[in-house]
Each structure stands twice: as C-alpha cells, then as structure tokens.
Amino acid sequence: MPTPAVPETVPPPGATSEPGGTIPAPPPTDATAGPVAGADRAFVAEAMTSGLAESEAGKMAAEKASDPQLKAYGDHLQKDHAEANMKLAQLASTKGITVSSTLEGDARTQLDELAKLSGPEFDRAFMERFGVSAHEKTIALFEREAKEGQDPDIRAFAEQALPTLRTHLESAQQLAQGAK
C-alpha cells in the first residue's frame, strides 16, 4: 500500500519561514484590526505616546531644571515612564499591536520647544506641559482603561500603573504649590 502524501504546509500570506517553523507576520496595526478591541489599541497608542513624552521630558528636566526639586521630579518621571514604556511595549508585542518608539507631531514639537529653554523659563514651561494638568489627563486615560478596557492584560497594565501616576501628580501639585 503506498504511503499517503503529506500535504505541504503553506505559510499564511505575509509569513516568513525560519528554521524550525513558520513565524506569522504581525497583524495589521490599525485600531480596528486583530483580536484586541479598537479602544484598547487606541489606549496602548496614546499611553505609549504619553509615556515617551513624559520620559523624555523628565530626562530633560533632570538635566536642565534650575530647581533641584524639579530635577529630582524629572529624574523620577524619566525612570518610571521608561520602565512603564518597556512593559507596555512588551505587552503590545504579545497582543500583536505595533507601537511607535519615537515621538512625532504635537508631543515632538512641545519637547523641541522645551529643549530650547533654560533656567526658570524651562522650569515654568516644563511644569505647564508635564506637570499637574498632564498627569490629570494621563490618570483619566488610565482610569478609563482600567474600568472599561476589554482586554484583561491591558486593563491590568492600566490598573498597575495608576499608583505611580498618582504619585507623579501629587509631586507635581507640591511643586506647583512651592512655585507660587
């Protein structure tokens, strides 16, 4: 009796072959594609953009601020947001969501403008752009995801990030009070 032919495995469109098997190509990156809900995808993109901006601004403040407390606040922002960005990028990757690691548009413009400033002028502009109101907005974004997110892992990420974001807000409020 002849041995039945084994059908040849055909990789899905867009897949690449590697030794040991087929690795599927990443899913489409628009906010409505794939198994993760569009709102969760939008959260990931917005959270990443916000986190990248906060991290870069914090690094700038740690280096350029004239107020030692603002330097310390900037250092905390840079470290905390860099860590959160790394976790979010890893989570996004496991969910098939592509996130940008560079800033563009308004966030890039704000950081470029901030980079041109120094001394007390830098301190004021930094707090206006990355202080109380920025953290209130970010907390609202994360609270909404923590309550309404469809993907349990993304929702958990948002919940876990909230205490750190609230600490940043409290620090920003204290700095703002001290500046008056």
Kindly give the confidence (pLDDT) of every residue in the chain, 180 residues in length, as a single tens digit, with 9 standing for 90 and above.
Answer: 444 444 333 343 443 434 344 333 344 444 334 478 899 999 999 999 999 999 999 999 999 999 999 999 999 999 999 999 999 999 999 999 999 888 888 889 999 999 999 999 999 999 999 999 999 999 999 999 999 999 999 999 999 999 999 999 999 999 999 866
Using only C-alpha atoms, the chain has a radius of gyration, in whole angstroms, of 21
Question: What was the pLDDT predicted at 18?
Answer: 40
Beta bridge partners, 169, equal none
Question: What was the pLDDT predicted at 180?
Answer: 60
Find tokens 């704000």 and name the residue.
Answer: 110
Question: What was the pLDDT predicted at 8?
Answer: 39
Closest CA to 61 of 71, 76, 47, 51: 71
Strands 21-23 and 16-18: antiparallel
Closest CA to 86 of 62, 51, 111: 51
Q: Alpha carbon of 111 to those of 55, 61, 88, 150: distances in Å? A: 11, 11, 22, 32
* CATH code of the domain occupying 47-179: 1.20.1260.10
With beta carbons less than 8 A apart as the criterion, state whether 145 and 154 touch: yes
Burial of 39 (0-12, 13-18, 19+ CB in 10 A): middle
pTM, entire model: 0.77
Tokens (6 digits) for 69: 């407390």
Write the DSSP symbol of residue 101.
S
In the chain the first and final C-alpha atoms are separated, in Å, by 92
DSSP H or E run through 112: helix 105-115
Whole-number Å distance between alpha carbons of 128 and 55: 16
CB atoms within 10 A of CB 18: 8
